[in-house]
Structure 1
Amino acid sequence: MSKLKYQMLIQWSEEDNCFLVGFPDFPGQRWRTHGDTYELAVANGIEALESLIIAYQAVGDSLPKPSYEAGL
């Protein structure tokens, strides 16, 4: 797993009846994955973040700077 400190936003959605997971530092879709429980949302979020990082690296794109490290 990357040592970069990206924010993972987890929010309950009444409409979807699950926890939605997003990564504010990555442009594009607001929500990247979900989970029926908070714990599953966290696990799915970690997997989604790892996949995002691999995808960026595979095409040679620079990773966005984590807002945590940017001091925001």
Structure 2
Amino acid sequence: MSKLKYQMVIQWSEEDDCFLVGFPDFPGQSWRTHGDTYESAVANGIEALESLIIAYEAAGDPLPEPAFYNAA
């Protein structure tokens, strides 16, 4: 999906004993999904992002502008 140009933050949570996945470009979104391994967190994150985009489009809401950072 060419619209997957958004940041995906993956962070280990000691409290939850898993990797949490969030999308900071989407307002009001904190942690959207998780995974027991980093790889499963990535896969679940891609699926969650696709679903989030579909939900925005179905509601007729404009997608947020993705933040871009220049690598040094």
Structure 2 length normalisation: TM-score?
Answer: 0.90
Q: CA deviation at 1:4?
A: 4.4
Aligned counterpart, 1:40: 40
Q: Is the 8 A contact 2:4 2:49 kept in 1?
A: no
Q: Where in structure 1 are there 5+ consecutive unaligned residues?
A: none
The residue matched to 1:32 in structure 2 has which SS?
strand
Cα distance in 1 for residues equivalent to 2:43 and 2:4 = 17
Are 1:56 and 2:61 counterparts?
no
Divergent runs of 4+, >3 A:
none
Number of corresponding residues: 70
After superposition, where does 1:1-72 map in structure 2 within 5 Å? Answer: 1-68=1-68
Same amino acid, percent of matched pairs: 83
**CA RMSD, Structure 1 to Structure 2 (Å):** 1.3
The residue matched to 2:26 in structure 1 has which SS?
coil
Q: CA deviation at 1:23?
A: 0.2
**Counterpart residue type for residue 29 of structure 2:** Q
Cα distance in 2 for residues equivalent to 1:54 and 1:3 = 10
Structure 1 length normalisation: TM-score?
Answer: 0.90
Cα distance in 1 for residues equivalent to 2:21 and 2:4 = 18
Q: CA deviation at 1:27?
A: 1.2
Q: Is the 8 A contact 1:19 1:41 kept in 2?
A: yes
